[in-house]
A and B are shown apart, each in its own frame.
Chain A
């Protein structure tokens, strides 16, 4: 296929119906109700370890960072991190398994669902699961004093926004790859650099300019900024800027996984 034809395929208007996508969302919800006890624990135990080890361990040796205790500095970033991991795990390993091993997608398109409905349902589900992880993390972190501003009440919206962005990104990659092994590249080349350079553990303002520039291109950095602006700084201007970046990127990528899945399933 030529580049132009490929571009047309991936950017065309999807045949999507929210009602049918919802049917697939409900499928995932039904399965989740059976399995969450097993998986949920593992996914927020990691940020809790960071919070305790870094916040109290490293925090003992640090002055206040950007005017707040170190544990308060890192907590919002860890919320964003757990949302990113929640959305990504669901839309990479789990989605690939459902598509290629369990053949669940084949069952869906045998019913009146289109490939795009399945992709949309999967993205919404990834966002849902990520929101559950992020929300659970905030609840766990409450005793550590993560909540410093009434703007924090807007956090549920922020969780959904961050979750949907990472769900769309994860699905775009998953639907484009042929073998599950490629997923490790997504984690090591995309997620791990973001983990280090998104301002979770240290402020970015003293890093070289080019690192700051690179960081600005990283989705997680804006998710961290949004959470910190809402939970700690109470800075609606910074929150709006970060949210705008994420909305634009999410909207720009939105049809990609839908069309990639159509291309993959409808042959």
Chain B
């Protein structure tokens, strides 16, 4: 069964169309990612899935139920991890979980063992009695994840789950999310980090100005929308730029930025060989694979220069 199905989904505010008719399907037990620059409509779409923002047009079904008709039933089976911390700062870590459990009508006798189990899972068991302000950013994020799992949700919604976290905290969150997915939870995330999407998501959509530009697995998108490899030349010396330009024909696209030139090519070795014939410091030439970030920038941002 599909966890989330949207058809012609749109959201209009008074004078602004945040989401302009999008179609997507998130399958159960997979991780589905929304990518896009700020203002693309990702968060609005997440708010509609979370039954907080009613769609203006189109249909949106979560767990087989229309969001406008059965918000309580949907929310009872869903967990939401917000972008901004909204924990109860006055009380301890464990009480945050118990308070949240009451919103779902879970009694203390069953909530407390569940909360302790989840604190173990997110590695906060030793912070059980700590007050929230003492926690680091990464700990707060893990506590938010634990809180969203109190009702044993079938779908977990995360809005930029690792924004602002240090690399250690970020990898820990990814590890926990992968564990959850293996356990059968459907994950729906938004992210700015292409690496995060490539790490976690089975399927992504790239949104821009309220529309979906492309969708598919990260691998499919890389294959379809960028080259296999990229040769980057950092700060090419001015006297060599004319010579470098003569290699343009070997690349599918060339992008000239202020600080570096990018040659998008399917044969990186050949391109690299050519560039190396010029007297450029080898430390400022780099061959790498095409990434989701290249796809993203090509589609939404930095204009391709042929």
Contacts and interface: CB of A to CB of B under 8 A. Distances in A.
A213 interface: no
A104 interface: yes
Interface string B76-106: 1000101011111111000100111011110
Contact of B82 (A27, A110, A112): A110
Contact of B86 (A24, A106, A112, A265): A106
Interface in B46-100: 50, 52-54, 71-73, 75-76, 80, 82, 84-91, 95, 98-100
Contact of A111 (B73, B85, B95, B103): B103
A37 interface: no
A31 B103 contact: no
Nearest to A28: B99
Interface in A96-112: 102-104, 106-112
A267 interface: yes
Contact of B90 (A31, A103, A113): A31
A102 B105 CA distance: 23
A8 B104 CA distance: 30
A112 B103 contact: yes
Contacts of A114: 71-72
Nearest to A25: B102
Contacts of A108: 103
A20 B103 contact: yes
A27 B102 contact: yes
Contacts of B95: 30
B90 A112 contact: no
Contacts of B98: 30
A266 to B, nearest CB: 7
A34 interface: yes
A12 interface: no
A35 B95 CA distance: 14
A256 B99 CA distance: 27
Contacts of B88: 27, 31, 102, 104
Given A27-B88, A107-B82, A112 B75 contact: yes
Residue among A26, A103, A111, A113 facing the most chain B CB atoms (10 A cut-off): A111
Contacts of B103: 20, 23-24, 27, 108, 111-113
Interface string A63-82: 00000000000000000000
A265 B50 CA distance: 13
Secondary structure type dominating chain A contacts: helix
A148 interface: no
A107 B91 CA distance: 15
Interface size class of A (residues with CB under 8 A): 20 to 34
A254 B113 CA distance: 39
A104 B103 CA distance: 12
Nearest to A267: B53
A24 B103 CA distance: 7
Nearest to B78: A110
Contacts, number: 71
Contacts of B13: 267
Contacts of B52: 109-110, 265-266
A34 B105 contact: no
Nearest to B11: A267
A26 B72 contact: no
Given A31-B91, A110-B75, A267-B53, A23 B82 contact: no
Contacts of A104: 86, 88
B86 A34 contact: no
B37 to A, nearest CB: 22
Contacts of B102: 23, 26-27
B104 A30 contact: no
Contact of A103 (B50, B72, B86): B86
Interface in A3-57: 17, 19-20, 23-24, 26-27, 30-31, 34-35
A35 B75 CA distance: 31
Contacts of A111: 75, 100, 103-104, 151
A19 B105 contact: yes
Interface string A83-104: 0000000000000000000111
Contacts of A103: 82, 84-86
Contacts of B54: 266
A102 B89 contact: yes
A107 B151 CA distance: 14
B100 A266 contact: no
Contacts of B76: 112
Contacts of B85: 103
Interface of A: 17, 19-20, 23-24, 26-27, 30-31, 34-35, 102-104, 106-114, 265-267
Interface of B: 13, 50, 52-54, 71-73, 75-76, 80, 82, 84-91, 95, 98-100, 102-105, 148, 151
Given A27-B99, A113-B103, 10 more contacts: A20-B105, A23-B104, A34-B90, A102-B88, A103-B86, A106-B82, A111-B100, A111-B104, A112-B76, A265-B52
15 contacts: A19-B105, A24-B103, A26-B99, A27-B103, A30-B91, A30-B98, A102-B86, A104-B86, A110-B50, A111-B100, A111-B151, A112-B75, A112-B76, A112-B103, A266-B53
